Amino acid sequence: MKKELEERLVKFSVMTLRLSRLAGNNYYNNYLINQLLRSSASAALNYAEAQSAESKRDFIHKVGIVLKELRESHVNLKILAESKIIPDLEEINLALDESNQLVSIFYRTIQTARSRK
């Protein structure tokens, strides 16, 4: 399960990278795209860090950061879709769906870890 989640996070980050190439080059687009790339990559990187957590509390904290970054990515994707900065709605809808699923998974992961604390 851990490897599967890591792979999904990596694929999500790559998905956002591919989407970023579809946006036009201007200040506003670049701002949103750069933020999306940072938050989606951060989710994958922080999940890898959570795998070596020193305690259950540390794990919950690190997975909480993953969840925060995923939520940020999700809202950013919604802004990009609504503003039509990225014209390929099919691709952006796939990214929105994946981010929504990942948010749900990590929300439940935190809830489960807290209940076992």
The residue ranges of every structural domain in the chain are 2-115
The low-confidence residues of the chain, meaning pLDDT below 70, are 117
Question: Alpha-carbon distance 73 to 43, whole Å?
Answer: 9
Task: Compute φ and ψ for 63, nearest 5 degrees.
Answer: -70, -30
Fold that domain 2-115 belongs to in CATH? de novo design (two linked rop proteins) (1.20.1440)
Look at the pTM and tell me if it is higher than 0.85: yes
Residue 93 has a pLDDT of 96
**Cα dihedral sign, 7-67-47-108:** negative
